[in-house]
Amino acid sequence: MREYVKRIVLLSCFSLLAVFSYAEGDTHSEINETLNNTLPAMTQALIKASYKEKADIIDSIAAIEDPNKLLILQSLLDNKLYYQKKNKTEGNNHKRILLVDMSLVKSGKPNAMLDAFDQQEVTGLSKRAVKRIGVNNALRRNLRSHLSLLKITHPDASTRIAAAQNLLKDSSAIDLKFIEKTLKKEKNPQVIDILKTTRGLMLLKSEQATIRLLALEELDGSLYPEVRIELNKFISAFDEDSKKQRSDELKLAEKTLADIETLMTYNGYAENLYFGLALGAVLLLAAIGLAITFGVMGVINMAHGEMIMLGAYTTYVVQMLMPESIGASLLVSIPAAFLVSGLVGILIERSVIRHLYGRPLETLLATFGISLILQQAVRSIFGPLNREVITPDWLAGTFMVNPGLSLTYNRLYIIIFSLVVLAVLALVLKRTLFGLQMRAVTMNRPMASSMGIRTGWVDALTFGLGSGIAGIAGVALSQLTNVGPNLGQAYIIDSFMVVVFGGVGNLWGTLVGAMSLGVANKFMEPVAGAVLAKIFILVFIILFIQKRPRGLFALKGRAVDNG
Amino acid sequence: MKSILKRTSNKLGKVSKVLAVATLAAGISMANAADTIKVGVLHSLSGTMAISETTLKDTVLMMIEEQNKKGGLLGKQLEPVVVDPASNWPLFAEKTRELLSQEEVDVIFGCWTSVSRKSVLPVIEELNGLMFYPVQYEGEESSKNVFYTGAAPNQQAIPAVDYLLEEVGAKRFVLAGTDYVYPRTTNKILVSYLKSKGIAEEDIMVNYTPFGHSDWQTIVSDVKKFGSKGKKTAVVSTVNGDANVPFYKELANQGISSEDIPVVAFSVGEEELSGFDAKPLVGHLAAWNYFMSADSEENEKFITQWHAYTKDENRVTNDPMEATYIGFKMWAQAVEKAGSEDVDKVRSAMYGIKVPNLTGGTAVMNTNHHLSKPVLIGEIQEDGQFDIVWQTEGEVVGDAWTDFLPESKVLISDWTAPISCGNFNTVTKSCGGPALASEE
C-alpha cells in the first residue's frame, strides 16, 4: 500500500514537472522541452526524494537514453551532484542542478561549480548556497552496478576491469545475454576471466541441473571471494529432500569449495608472511635510528619516539606548504624530516646528553623528561588533535597477485623504503669518513681522540644521524597511523625490543630482529589474537635475553666491555 | 613582671592576629559563597585523552560564559575552576577531592573514560558532590551523585545493531573492540542481544586489540574471510581513539568498502574524523545521539556560538559536546528551580527537567540519572561529516542496567522515594543487587 502511494506521489511529481516545463515550452525550443521531460526532470525529483524513492529514480534514469546520464549518475556516486538552495526566479519549482567539486570551492579555484546539463561554469555561489544530493550505501551499490553496465564497453582497460569486478559483486541485475555479448568483444584476459566467473555464478542459479553442474566446474579453482560467497550460499540452500535428490550436485559443490579453500590456505600463508614482513619493516624503520643512538652510542634515549613524531609532523607541515602536489610533498618531507629531527637530536645531545655519558640512569630520566617536553611542545603548537596527512593515490590500493591474494601498496612501499634506508645507513657507516670516525670513537674513545678526531662532534653528529633516521621513519609512519603528539609513545617499546633482541650495536641484528619479530607476531595473531600475540612476543624476548644477554648477533671484543 | 606583661600582650597580639585572619578568611569565603557559584571542570588537558577532553572543557567554559552574560544563576556569577587530571586515572580521584574539599565547587563537569569515572565515584559519593558525565558508556552503573548525559548501551549499541539487522540485512557480525571495560561490557551485551535475535554463535566473531593498535593487517584480513561465507556481514566497532585511523585505512587498502562490509562505530565522531582524510571511510556508519549535520535551529545556534567562542570556523561539534550542553542546561534549570545550588536540592530538582535536544525534540532527565534522547545513525561523508540515514522514532529512555545480561536484568535504578537506590533488585526487593558492576 505504502509503495503504491509513493508511486502515485512520484508520478504526480513527474506530471507536475511536465506541466511546468510545458508552460515554459512556449519560449524554449522543442529540444529543450523533451530534455525537461527526461533526465533533468528526474534529477529534479531526486532532490526531494527519500532514499527508497531515489533508488526507483536512479533505475529509471539508467533506463533512458541520454548521453548525459553517465555523468549525472557518476557525479551522484562521487558526491558531486548538488543543487542551488534558493533559486526559484524562473517562476517554477525547478532548482538548478550543479556539479560541484568542494575541494576546488574551498581553495577558490575555477571550474569548481558547473551546471549539470550544459557544463558551463557557475560563479558567485558560496558553499553554503548549495546542498548536496545525498546517497547511502544501498544507493551507492545500485549506482555502481548501473555504471558498471555502462562502463563495461569503455575503451580504457582498467576501467573495464573495475566495471567487471563490480558486476561480479552484484550480478543480480545483469542479463546473461549481455555478458555473452560483451565476452565476445572483449580482448583483455583479466576482464574475460572476471566476466566468465560472473557468468558461472549466474548459471549456478539456473533452473537446469546440467547447467548448474557445468557452472560448478567452471568455478573450480576460482579465487574470487564472490565465488566462495555464492558457493556457501548454494550449499546452505540444500534441505534434507534436495540433499538426497541432488546429491551429485552437492558433492561437486562441496568439492569445488574445498579445492578453493585449500588454495586459499596457501594464500593465507603468503598473506601472513607479507603482513609479517610489513610489520617487520615498520619495526625496522622505528628501530634503525635507535640502533645507532642506543646500539652504537649506548645512550638510552627515551625521546627516540618523539624524534619519529617530529618527522611525522614535518610531513604534515610540508604537505601544508605544498597542497598542490601531495605525492611530491611526501618525497620532499624525507630530507626535511631528516634535517628537523637530526638538528633537534644534535641540540639535545649538545645541551643534555653529553653531560651524562656513562650515567645510564640519569640519561634515561633526562631523555624521558625531554620526551614529555617535546610532546607537550607539539601539543601547544599544533593542538592536541591529530593532524591530517593525506595519502597520495599511488600509495593507496592493492597489487593483485591472484584474485584471492592482494598486497597493499602502502606496505609494499614501506618494506622497500625500510630496506633502502638500512642500506644507505650501512653504506654511510662502512664507506664514509664520518662512518669510520664514528666507529673509531665508539670502539676506543681515547685512542680515536689521540688520533685527532674531535670525539665531541662525532658524538653529536652520530646522535643527530640516529635522530634524523627516526625522523624519516616518522614520514613513513604518517602514512600508516595517526599524526598526533602521542605517536612516538606507541613505538618506543617496540624499538627497544628490536634493538635488544637483534643485538646491541649491530645493524644486521636489527634487520633480522625486526623481521623475525614481525613475522612471528603475524603468524601468532590469527591463533592467539592481537593482545596475546604481543604478550607472547614479550615473554619470548625476556626468555631469550636470559639465554643470550647480548641479543642475536653479539658484538665481540673490547667495544663491548668499554660499553 | 615586665616580661610577663610583654608575654601576655604578645600572646594577645597573636590571638587577635589569628582571630583577624580567621574572620577575614570567613569573610572571603562568605563573600565567595554569596557572589559566585563554583563550577568544577575535570577534563584532561594533557596526556592521551587531551585530544578528546580539551574540547569538552572549552564547551563548559563557553556555556558558563553565556550563562554569566545572561546574569548568572540566582543572581550570582558562575566561576569555573579548571583542573587538569592529565589522563591519569588515580589523579582524577585526587583532583575531585581537591575540587570538592578545597575549592568547594557546587557541581563538576568531567571525565571521559569509564576508568576515570570509576576512580572519581568513591570520592564524589563520600563528599556528596555532583557530577555530570557526558560520554557514551557501558552502563551497569547508577550513582546518586552522577548524572549520565551520554548514551547508555540501549541508546547507542542496541539501536545500531537493530539498524544493521533490519535496514542493512546483516546476518553475520564482527564485534571489534579495544581491550578495556567499555568494549568488553558492550560486546557482552551485544552478543546476548544478537543471540536473542536468532543470530547463531558461529556468526559472531569477537575480537579485541590493545590500546592504540596500529597494525590491523591480520584482523582486517580475518574480517574479509569471515565476510565471505555467503551472508551479509557487518562490523560493530568499539575500537577506541587513535586506533581507528589505521583500522579504517587498512580496510580501505584491502579493498573492503562500506557497501560490502559496513562498519558501525560507537567512538568515531566528527572530532575524530577531523584528524584525517575521510575519503576511504565514506559510507561507513556511526551511531550517536547527535550529529553536527542535524538540521535544527538550536543546532545552528550552537555551532555559530561554538565558532565564535573558538574563533575558528572549522571547529566541529560532536556528541559528547551536546551531552555537555544538555547537562549544563539541565543543571542551570535545576538550580533555578531549587532556588539553591545545594547538591541535594539540585538533585531532587533535576528529575523530569527538560531541555531541547540540538537534533530536535526534548531530552528528559529520568530518576535513574540517565536521559531520554533520540538515537541517530549517520553515514560518513567525504568532508568528515555525517549524513543522517536513520533515526529512532521518538526518544529512547536510557537504561542504567541492561536487560540483556542475566545478572543485571533484575536490577533497576530509581533515586526517588520509595526506592532511592541505584541498583534495586526487583526479585529480592532489596537495594544492593549482586555485587558486580560498580566494583568492576
Look at residue B22 in the predicted model and tell me its pLDDT. 47
Ranges of chain A whose pLDDT falls below 50:
1, 4-5, 7-36, 557-563
- Tally A–B CB contacts below 8 A: 136
Interface touch B382/A410, C-beta < 8 Å = no
Cα dist from B399 to B139, B167, B354, B366, whole Å: 7, 24, 18, 10
How many Cα atoms are found within 13 Å in the side-chain-facing hemisphere of B169?
7
Cβ of A115: how many Cβ atoms within 10 Å?
14
Question: Which residues does chain B have within 8 Å of residue A522's beta carbon, measured at their own beta carbons?
Answer: 217-218
d(CA A485, CA B45): 13
Q: Once rounded to an integer, what is the mean pLDDT over residues B68-72?
A: 92
Q: Is B34 exposed, middle or buried (0-12, 13-18, 19+ CB in 10 A)?
A: exposed
What number is the ipTM of this complex?
Answer: 0.73
Residue of B nearest to A134 (CA): B387
Of chain B, the percentage scoring pLDDT greater than 70 comes to 90
Number of residues written out for chain B: 440
Q: Is B86 exposed, middle or buried (0-12, 13-18, 19+ CB in 10 A)?
A: middle
d(CA A428, CA B215): 31
A525 touches chain B (CB under 8 A): yes
Q: Once rounded to an integer, what is the mean pLDDT over residues B69-87?
A: 92
Look at residue A11 in the predicted model and tell me its pLDDT. 44
Q: Once rounded to an integer, what is the mean pLDDT over residues B283-289?
A: 93
One DSSP character per residue, A4-28 reads HHHHHHHHHHHHHHHHHHHHHHTTS
Helix A507-528 to helix A489-502 angle (10° resolution) is 120
Interface touch B276/A481, C-beta < 8 Å = no
Look at residue B229 in the predicted model and tell me its pLDDT. 82
How far is CA B16 from its chain centroid? Answer: 50
Going B166 to B172 to B178 to B181, the CA torsion angle's sign is positive
Question: Does the reported pTM lie above 0.95?
Answer: no
Q: Once rounded to an integer, what is the mean pLDDT over residues B52-60?
A: 92
Look at residue A91 in the predicted model and tell me its pLDDT. 54
d(CA B167, CA A209): 34
Please give the grid coordinates belonging to residue B287. 551511531
Question: Which residues does chain B have within 8 Å of residue A406's beta carbon, measured at their own beta carbons?
Answer: 254-255
Of B228, B259, B382, the CB nearest to A137: B259
Nearest-CA distance A397 → chain B (Å): 5
- At residue B34 the predicted structure's pLDDT band, cuts being 50, 70 and 90, is low
> Checking DSSP bridges between strand B146-148 and strand B376-380, what pairing results, if any?
unpaired
One DSSP character per residue, A227-283 reads HHHHHHHHHHT--HHHHHHTHHHHHHHHHHHHHHHHHHHHHHHHHHHHHHHHHHHHH
> pLDDT digit string (tens) for A209-230?
888 888 888 888 888 888 888 8
Q: At residue B152, does pLDDT exceed 70?
A: yes
Look at residue B40 in the predicted model and tell me its pLDDT. 96
Per-residue b or e along A514-541, where b marks 16 or more CB atoms closer than 10 Å to that residue's CB: bbbbbbbbbbbbbeebbbebbebbeeeb
User: Could you give the maximum distance between any two Cα atoms of chain B, in Å?
Assistant: 106
A263 touches chain B (CB under 8 A): no
Of chain B, the percentage scoring pLDDT greater than 90 comes to 55
Look at residue B276 in the predicted model and tell me its pLDDT. 67
Q: At residue B329, does pLDDT exceed 60?
A: yes
Question: Which residues does chain B have within 8 Å of residue A144's beta carbon, measured at their own beta carbons?
Answer: 259
Nearest-CA distance A279 → chain B (Å): 7
Look at residue B92 in the predicted model and tell me its pLDDT. 95
Cβ of B429: how many Cβ atoms within 10 Å?
8
